[in-house]
A and B are shown apart, each in its own frame.
Chain A
Amino acid sequence: MSVDEVGRWPLRIGSRVLRRFVETRELTLLVLIVAIIVGMSLASPVFLSLANFRAIAIGMAPTVIIAVGMTVLLVSGGFDLSVGSVLALASTVTALLLLSGASIPLAILGALALGVIIGLANGIVVTRIGVNPLVATLGSMSIARGIALVLTEGFSLINLPPAFGWAGRAEILGLPFLLWVALALVVVFDLAMRHGSFFRQLYYIGSNEKAARLSGLAVDRVRTLAYMLSGLLAALAGVLLASRLMSGTPTAGNALELQVLAAAVIGGASLRGGEGTVLGAFLGVVFVALINNAMTMLAVSIYWQMIVTGAVLVVAVALDMLVRRGDE
């Protein structure tokens, strides 16, 4: 080992640890989240309360569920703008079915099936016909929202059977059922994306589609399934939201797709595909939810919140780019 090398040792190790830290997005986010919690606990007495945390958890549960599907898609190089509309459509369809006398399981299954079908349509249009995912899902976003509004003439559907509200109200071990569902999905899909042989294929496809095809992966089928999963999870979020609000709301989830995308990207997913983890996207959602909550606590106006969320997104992605460039 030359003198030159010896001199570089401590610096090299130090910068490696630092880089590893910045590179592991989950870790960075976790630290930021803890920092917000500590900071806010000092700044506001109401922040660190069970009631506030419960409100945050219930509020973000649908976003987390949708973010799981979005991450799976982003990793495969896909993209889904229709999730917010599918959530609204699923919530109104559940309500409509219930009001027309269908049993609760049937109403839920109907809404979930609809989500899968929209996902399938997205997948086919993107993979078989080759329409750009942005355009394809922009179209289905508009169509799904339109159907929800046509079905309800723009009104919320209320007077749902009381038993349907169970999922939205229930608590297990002191935590809201909604949160349990969201956490279970995060854990299952995070592990599946890391170790499952089916879900690993998404990384290959997103990283180099041509090579994935030549390596014998069923690229179109896997990508279509990813769209179906995204549709299914968006519909599930819609059903749970309907249960919590005890109404079918055609205007729910407006601009949710952008929030979810922002959270997934903050969590380390890339719009170019091939990168991202479900855990990262989850932490991204938590991070954004906490920032919004903190700003509400500090009585920052809702308009400013939008500006801050946008700025956080750009800064997160810009930092990521800088780290990568330094890495060559």
Chain B
Amino acid sequence: MAAPLLELSDITKWYGTTRALGDVDFDLKRGEVHALVGENGAGKSTLLAILSGVVAPDKGTINIDGRAVTIDDPSRAQALGISTVFQELSLAGALTVAENVFVGRAPTACGVIRWSELRRRTQQILSPFGIEIDVGRPVDRLPAATRQLVEIAKALSLDARILLLDEPTSALTSDEVAALFDIITRLKTRGIGIVYVSHHMAEVFQIADRITVLRDGRRMTTRAVPETSIDDVVRAMVGRNLEIFAAATALVPGPVALAVRGNGAKGNSRHLELEIRFGEVVGLAGLMGSRRSELARSLVGLQRPPGGAAIEIKGRPTRLRCLRDAMTRGIAYVPDDRKAEGLFLSMSVTDNFVVTALRRFARLGWIERAAAKAAASEAVERFRIRVPSLAAAAGKLSGGNQQKLMLSKWLASDPAIIVIDEPTKGVDVEAKREIHKEVRRLAAAGKAILLISSDLPELFTISDRIVVMREGQIVGDLPTRLATEESVMALASGTGHKHEGEAA
């Protein structure tokens, strides 16, 4: 048989004293989807970074079509037909969608960019995803999911033979995931090999032909999909069995903590009524464009409530002019973009952890280092954040560990009301369970929690109620035990019947 498309052997990579990869073998056949899974910090992104020429391995060989190659820089990777969607999005925010997709390769005539041609081709590339956006818009004005799709489209447009996808669906809803899988299936028939990194086991088992499990930088096993099961893979990832976490939702919620009153306000016909009580977790579901992040941001003072709705905190109408207004009233907001909005990447783990509670750790304006470190180390332990040390820069943690750090940082401020946007983006199965448990524990401790997630099973696991948004309106509000994934999807896409909450 011919040599595999891609073959790695003995790949080793050290970061200081951390071994990110140790003697890893990996191969990829033509027309194959080979999934790479493992806990946060297992070394998945590092392996892809080596293949895309971003970091150099300390040891090991890479063969493409049986020939040894050195990939010492990203342009070399591109020349070899390798194209990558990175875990942390890498678009140039101020440039337009079209310019980003065709970065450095825009169609030109005598050195002048042909803008209309550029736009046309970009539209062509984006059309299979069914997203309708103005390709002349700057990327940083787009919601996270659209940015992720643009990133994927960009990688696809490179006509690569090897496609590396690092958690490509972490911000996508199921429709978009389905569109991506259609495309992947088509690419397979053209003989393109795809490395697919994900924490979503269901997705992995749906799309992958083989699965390789990494743990602590070591390859644990490689299996063909029909011959293995989710349980086997998870066991190989974490080294033991995981019991399923079932949320206990049998509590009586307290008084209303946070309410949005937007029903017919100021002649507005939009339905936007929402109540969150102390002690309950409310899940906010909706497709892209449902404007649920907008609603969440307005609850914490980052923007005006859509459609002139009024906000009540503990029963009192309140105008929130900025986030600090919200914070002084005990509301915390965990943003969905950890890199741009959540973390201070050049600062230490401890520094990141204490920022929301500087005052709590200070006596007479002086920060008590020991107390701050002790609290940070306790949080690191509780959320199983894998860090080289508390003094390491946050930017050196793996994506999922950064996510955990961001969440723990917010919980450090001890808020009464918490608004969380995508809490488990990029987090591995075990840590996800820990985060779910933590959210439930907070609710049990009497906090009011509003949670946005594109991951429906997640909403079903931790919410007491699920609220569905579509086009800036609330179209459904139902207790989790009465909801099904189908009914929620139907409401979100507008194909289903209206539900209880709507009656008012």
A binds B: yes
Which of the 9-residue segments A49-57, A179-187, A194-202 touches chain B?
Answer: A194-202
| Chain B residues near A169 (CB-CB < 8 A) | none
Q: Which residues of chain A come closer than 8 Å to B356, judged between CB atoms? A: 215-216
Q: How large is the interface on B (under 10, 10 to 19, 20 to 34, 35 or more residues)?
A: 35 or more
Q: Decide: A216 and B324 in contact? CB cutoff 8 A.
A: yes
Interchain CB contact under 8 A, A200 and B346: no
Among the 9-residue stretches B227-235, B361-369, B377-385, the one with 4 or more Cβ atoms under 8 Å from chain A is: B361-369
A217 within 8 A of B: yes
**CA separation between A212 and B346, bound complex, in Å?**
13
When A16-B16, A197-B366 are in contact, do A214 and B335 touch as well, CB less than 8 Å? yes
Chain A hits for B120, CB < 8 A:
none
Which listed residue, B302, B365, B409, touches A196 by the CB 8 Å rule? B365
What is the chain B residue whose CB lies nearest that of A274? B346
Tell me, in angstroms, the Cα distance from A137 to B425 when the chains sit together. Answer: 42
Give the segment of B109-117, B192-200, B244-252, B336-344 that binds chain A. B336-344
Question: Across the interface, do A207 and B355 meet the contact criterion of CB distance under 8 Å?
Answer: no
Contact residue range for chain A? Answer: 20 to 34
- The reply to whether B358 and A201 contact each other, CB–CB distance below 8 Å, is yes
Partner of A197, one of B323, B335, B365: B365
Inter-chain CA distance A8–B366, complex, in Å, is 41
Which residues in B have their C-beta under 8 angstroms from that of A12? 16-17
Within 8 Å by CB of B347, from A2, A203, A328, lies: A203
Task: Give the distance in Å from the alpha carbon of A216 to the alpha carbon of B301 in the complex.
Answer: 11
- Whether B323 lies near A213 (C-beta < 8 A) is yes
Q: What 1/0 mask marks residues of chain A from 274 to 308 whose CB sits below 8 Å from any chain B CB?
A: 11000000000000000000000000000000000
Residue contact A275 to B346, C-beta cutoff 8 Å: yes
Residues from chain B with Cβ under 8 Å of A201 in the complex = 358
Known: A5-B19, A218-B324. A200 touches B358 (CB 8 A): yes
**Chain B residue with minimal CB distance to A213?**
B323
Quick check: is A4 within 8 A (CB to CB) of the other chain?
A: yes
Indicate whether A208 reaches chain B with its CB closer than 8 angstroms. Answer: yes
Q: Which residues of A contact B341 (CB under 8 A)?
A: 210-211, 214
Residue B14 is within 8 A (CB to CB) of chain A in the complex: yes
Find out whether the CB atom of B342 lies under 8 angstroms from the CB atom of A198: no
* Residue of A whose beta carbon sits closest to that of B16: A16
Let me know if A227 is at the binding interface, CB within 8 A.
Answer: no
Question: How far is the CB of B76 from the nearest CB of chain A, in Å?
Answer: 18
Query: Which residues does chain B contribute within 8 Å of A210, judged by CB atoms?
Result: 340-341
Q: Kindly name the residue among B23, B340, B366 whose own CB sees the greatest number of chain A CB atoms within 10 A.
A: B366
8 Å CB contact of B369 from A195, A212, A274: A195
The reply to whether the CB of A204 lies closer than 8 angstroms to some CB of chain B is yes
A98 to B344, CA, bound (A): 49
Chain A 314-328 interface residues, beta-carbon cutoff 8 Å to B: 328
Contact call A208/B344, Cβ cutoff below 8 A = yes
CB of A165, distance to nearest CB on chain B (Å): 36
Known A-B contacts A197-B358, A197-B359; the reply to A274 vs B367 at CB < 8 A is no
Q: Is B351 in contact with A203, judged by CB distance below 8 angstroms?
A: yes
CB of B100 within 8 A of chain A? no
12 contacts between A and B (CB under 8 A): A4-B22, A195-B366, A195-B369, A196-B367, A197-B362, A201-B358, A207-B347, A211-B343, A212-B344, A213-B323, A215-B409, A274-B346
**A203-B351, A211-B341, A216-B413 given; 9 more Cβ-contact pairs under 8 Å:** A4-B23, A5-B19, A16-B16, A197-B359, A197-B362, A201-B358, A208-B340, A213-B323, A214-B323
